[in-house]
Amino acid sequence: MKRIAIIGGGISGLSAAFALEKQRRAGIPIDYVVYESNRDLGGVLVTEHVEGCVVEAGPDSFLTEKPWAADLCRELGLGAQLIGSNDAHRKTYIVVNGRLVVMPDGLMFMVPTQILPTVLSPLFSIGTKLRMAREWFHPPRKAEGDETVAAFVERHYGPEMVDRLADPLLSGVYGGEAAGLSIRAVLPRFSEMEAKYGSLGRAMLAARSKMAKAPARPLFTSLKDGMQQLVDALLARFPEDSIRPDTRVESLEQKDGNWLVHSLAGSDQFDSVIVGTSAPAAAALIRPINNELAQELGGISYSSSVTLTLGYDQSVRASLPPGFGFLVPRTEGKRMLAATFVHNKFPHRAPDDRALIRCFLGGARDEAILDSSDDQILRIVRKELREIIGLSAEPRFARVYKWKSAMAQYGVGHLERLARIDRLRSALPGLALAGNAYRGIGVPDCVRSGQDAAAGVLTFLGLSKETLPASAS
Ligand SMILES: Cc1cc2nc3c(=O)[nH]c(=O)nc-3n(C[C@H](O)[C@H](O)[C@H](O)COP(=O)(O)OP(=O)(O)OC[C@H]3O[C@@H](n4cnc5c(N)ncnc54)[C@H](O)[C@@H]3O)c2cc1C
């Protein structure tokens, strides 16, 4: 019997555990233990139900085009629970000089693909519109090295595009800023498009004409009753003694070709270890074993975020603008980064007579928000909602969630760092890494990273389909 420890019971660690559980049920001789510091498993996937509303504390959905999370849901019997975002009402606003300006039709991420709506939009100055026209003739350019998203976007469309779109969009997804994130790690398709077509506009149009042949799918997918359904369905599959909540791993040790996992509950011996924590937490565990690997892991920075969900009555719902919500560029001088009108994005998450607004704060430039009390955060958000959309009604309820150092920031050179991490890790037999620090921060990427880590340790242990004798697989 081979034993595997999984450190961290977020979606990355649980996905690794489920991949192992399937093998165990198929008769492969393994046994695994998931260590989680918190009482609850699932990491940032937490859903609350308040007054008939589904309130997400962390992620509210995942990108449909990345299949791994939805596939996992189907495998767990949650296929009928999968829902798509209400894209018929997909309209997003950007706050410009304190007012909402709708994002023009035809913008794909931040790339304009339709001339008229872009030309008529008050979102961009004449100067930026001229840059957009010139971008059409941008020559193909093979990337010589990495650069920031801000530098890349500025080369194509100028600084206003960075301020009004790139930065707010990235702070929504990564809690980071365009001037700190790597184009090759965060938007690899943009680098490829530039190399092949030069112009991002022309590249997007080419991609769209291919996509037009496929049936349209909603941009985001989620679960009817909230993202925690995924965690609950996973937990229902594991033998009880495989899960150790409230058990923080204090240190790791390599001894005679085995791994010793030390926690306050005692020490246990394993053949393999999957570390599914944040990179700094992984660095702390690995430092006594390999300082160089720990240095690389510790070099991946994280930002923190705060979400605040407000529930209102029907009168507020009727008064809000249509659409999914708005993004706030930094230059507007607000603490809020974005707000989602949840009742429009996922209508079944709020009864017809309720409005549900989810606001985001924090990110790379505002770690200080974590030091504010829930009441202070509520006051900040209510003041800014009053200023931006004229909303002064008293909410029926408010829920604040603080996530310290939860969002990995892929800085310039991230892919090279990953190559160094892979090389250093492969010198530590039986160790695998999973989590949002490496090859994607979204829930589907984390699911895949857990599955890949599980496949890696099975191969190392000689237990994968490829390495097992036919009689055992
Ligand atoms: C507010 C917010 C909104 C988001 N929105 C979206 C979204 O809409 N769509 C999307 O796709 N993604 C979204 N994301 C990103 C995505 O949710 C995360 O990247 C992903 O869930 C991270 O999962 P994980 O398992 O890698 O890490 P985590 O969820 O952070 O789990 C790691 C776990 O390891 C545990 N741990 C750490 N150290 C130890 C130790 N020494 N011993 C034992 N346990 C330990 C921690 O307690 C934690 O539970 C969002 C993230 C946040 C914070």
- Angle, vertex CA 420, rays to CA 417 and CA 424, nearest 5: 140
* Ligand 1 neighbour 408 (Cβ under 6 A): no
Give the model's confidence band at 467: pLDDT under 50 very low, under 70 low, under 90 confident, else very high: low
Predicted TM-score (pTM) above 0.85: yes
Q: Which atom from ligand 1 is nearest to the alpha carbon of 442?
A: 11
Whether the CB of 406 sits within 6 Å of ligand 1 = yes
| Mean predicted confidence (pLDDT) in 268-292 | 98
Dist CA 441 CA 449 (whole Å) = 10
Distance 230 CA to ligand 1 centre (A): 14
Q: Whose CA is nearest to atom 31 of ligand 1?
A: 10
Of the candidates 323, 419, 414, 396, the residue with the CA atom closest to the CA atom of residue 86 = 323
Q: Report the percentage of the chain scoring pLDDT > 70.
A: 97
Enter the DSSP assignment of 372.
Answer: S
CB 221 within 8 A of CB 62: yes
**Residue nearest to ligand 1 atom 30, measured at CA:** 43
To test the pocket of ligand 1, the residue of 11, 44, 324, 366 to mutate (highest count of ligand atoms within 8 Å of its CB) is 44
If you average pLDDT over residues 439-468, what whole number do you get? 92
pLDDT tens digits along 187-201: 999 999 999 999 999
As a whole number, mean pLDDT of residues 264-290 equals 97
Distant-in-sequence, close-in-space partners of 26: CB < 8 Å, separation ≥ 6: none
pLDDT digits (tens, 9 = 90+) for 6-47: 999 999 999 999 999 999 999 999 999 999 999 999 999 999
Average pLDDT of the chain, as a whole number: 94
pLDDT in the model for residue 141: 85
The protein residue whose alpha carbon is closest to atom 7 in ligand 1 is 59
Q: What atom of ligand 1 comes closest to residue 441's alpha carbon?
A: 19
**Cβ-based neighbour number of residue 307 at 10 Å:** 24
Q: Whose CA is nearest to atom 6 of ligand 1?
A: 59
Is the model's pLDDT at 342 over the cut of 80? yes
Separation CA 432–CA 343 (nearest Å): 40
pLDDT of residue 304: 96
Q: What is the mean pLDDT of residues 209-228?
A: 84
The proportion of the chain whose per-residue pLDDT surpasses 90, expressed as a percent, equals 86
Nearest residue CA, atom 48 of ligand 1? 43
- Angle formed at CA 89 by CA 88 and CA 93, multiple of 5 degrees: 135
In this predicted structure, the answer to whether residue 213 has a pLDDT above a threshold of 70 is no
Q: pLDDT tens across 87-115, in order?
A: 877 899 999 999 999 999 888 878 888 88
Residue 245 and residue 39 in contact, taking contact as beta carbons nearer than 8 Å: yes
The pLDDT score that the predictor gives to residue 244 is 98
The answer to whether the CB of 421 falls within 8 A of the CB of 453 is no
Ligand 1 atom with the smallest distance to the CA of 8 is: 34
Instruction: Name the pLDDT band for 172 (thresholds 50, 70, 90).
Output: confident
Give the DSSP per-residue string, 72-132.
HHHHTT-GGGEEE--GGG--EEEEETTEEEEPPTTEETTEE--HHHHHH-TTS-HHHHHHH
Q: Give me 54's structure tokens.
A: 């589904």
Beta strands in 11-81 (DSSP E): 30-35, 47-50, 53-56, 62-63
Angle at 446 between CA 90 and CA 84, to 5 degrees: 25
CA of 154 to the centre of ligand 1 (A): 31
CB contact set of 209 (below 8 Å; sequence gap of 6+): none
Q: Is the pLDDT of residue 472 over 60?
A: no
CB 289 within 8 A of CB 21: no
Ligand 1: centre distance to CA 453 (Å): 16
Which residue has a Cα nearest atom 25 of ligand 1? 10
172 CB near ligand 1 (under 6 Å)? no
Ligand 1, atom nearest to 66 Cα: 11
Band of residue 473 on the pLDDT scale cut at 50, 70, 90: very low
Residue 221 Cβ inside 6 Å of ligand 1? The answer reads no
